[in-house]
Amino acid sequence: MLSSDVTELDRLLSARLLFVTPDGANVGKEADLEAHRSGLIRITALTRRESRIEMFGVTAVVNAEMEMAGSFAGSPFEGRFRYTRVWHEEGAETKVVAGHVCAIK
C-alpha cells in the first residue's frame, strides 16, 4: 500500500474482494487496484500501532490500528485508522477476501 505496488496488491487480493472504505462505499478488487494505479489514493506514511490476529480454520481475521498519512482524491489526510482484513485460503494461496477501514476519533 505504501508504494502502491499494484502487482503485489493484485496477487494478495481475492477476485471476490469485499472492502468497505472510510466513507462507507463498497469496493471490489478492480476498484481498489485502480485507486492505487491512478493515484486516487497515495499513502506516504504507514505505521502499525497494534494488531490482533484470530484464526478460524483456513481463515484469519486481522484487526490493526494504523497511523497513516497521505492523500485521497487530492485531499490530504493524516491520523489513526482501524483496519479489519479477512484472509482466506484460495487453493494454494491465502488472499484478502474482505476488509474495512475507519478513522479513529
Distance set, CA 90 to CA 12, 13, 25, 61, 85 (Å): 11, 11, 25, 15, 15
Domain ranges of the chain: 6-103
**pTM above threshold 0.85:** yes
CATH number for the region 6-103 comes to 3.10.450.50
Phi, psi of 30, rounded to the nearest 5 degrees: -65, -40
Q: Which residue has the cell 482466506?
A: 88
pLDDT recorded at residue 93: 95
pLDDT recorded at residue 70: 95
Residue 30 neighbours by CB under 8 Å, 6+ apart: none
- pLDDT tens digit string along 70-83? 999 999 999 999 99
